[in-house]
Structure 1
Amino acid sequence: MMWVITVYLKGNLSTMFEFNSEKEAKEAFKNIHGCKILTEVINFHNPSYALVAV
């Protein structure tokens, strides 16, 4: 998993920050000013997320 903070400035995409942990991302989120979105990105190609047929 990865965490991404997207910061917008005047309606345009301004900056994206990537983090490896939720804790690290949330700490940075507190210190960033402006319109911002915190997103958890899940990689479904990871075998641990595979669907099992029943």
Structure 2
Amino acid sequence: MWVITLYSKENELCMYEFTSEKEARETLAKLNGSKILSEVIYYNDPVFAGN
């Protein structure tokens, strides 16, 4: 999961969730204000089980 945290000029905090990095980066380029892009990894997710 990808999360954008946006601090707007009106001092508002907004968070947006995305399932793909591509979608998150496209949205990140369109947003104005201070922004942080984060990848959230759940270690109990079967994708990371390594089996």
Q: TM-score, normalised by structure 1?
A: 0.77
Matched residue type, 1:14: L
CA contact (8 A) 2:2 2:21 kept: yes
List runs of 5+ in structure 1 lacking aligned partners: none
Q: TM-score, normalised by structure 2?
A: 0.81
Asked which structure has the greater CA Rg, the reply is 1
- The alignment yields a C-alpha RMSD, in angstroms, of 2.1
List runs of 5+ in structure 2 lacking aligned partners: none
Q: Where does residue 20 of structure 1 map in the other structure?
A: 19
